[in-house]
Amino acid sequence: MKLIRSIDSIVGAIAAAILVTLLAVMLFMGFTQVVLRNLFSTSILWGDVFLRHVVLWVAFLGAIVATGEKRHITIDALTKVLSDKGKKIAGIITGIASVVVCYFLTDASHRFLVDEIEFGGTLMLDIPRWIFQLIIPLGFGLMMLRFSIRVLEDFLELVSGRITASESEEVKDA
């Protein structure tokens, strides 16, 4: 389990580092575009297309980081009335559902990416379009991995009958 947790930590750290870098690039490029348009009546021709794709990457990387930290969007109306064991079981069930959904989205986006590679085409500066779309199957795949790890951790905690320190703090805060 330590190996799995270390892989998960590495994935999270890499995603967070790329996320921060792309956010900085996105802010710089957006600011540059505004200054060029307003002060010089010009712009970088491929700047808007680039920014749209950076937003896509930032969204997926943010989702990967949030999934690993269990800070993704959840609907927890029923968990207010469940016991700790019931919350853990509900978390496992929704985690499994998330893994299944991410699997199908990974598969579909992989087929989409293969088609993009096969048919070719460039987006800007002679860079192939598929490079910008690589984040779609990669993002869903990494979210699937991180959801799977969370489900495994929750299942092991359920069968061992223990609640981690962070969860007992969450129960006190609620």
Mean pLDDT over each residue of the chain, to the nearest integer:
89
Mean pLDDT of 46-59: 95
Measured CA to CA, the distance from residue 162 to residue 118 in angstroms comes to 50
Tell me, what DSSP letter sits at residue 121? -
Q: In terms of pLDDT, which residue wins out, 83 or 12?
A: 12
CA 102 – CA 170 distance, rounded (Å): 27
Residue 128 DSSP class:
E
pTM for the model: 0.84
Q: What would the mean pLDDT of 125-153 be, rounded to a whole number?
A: 94
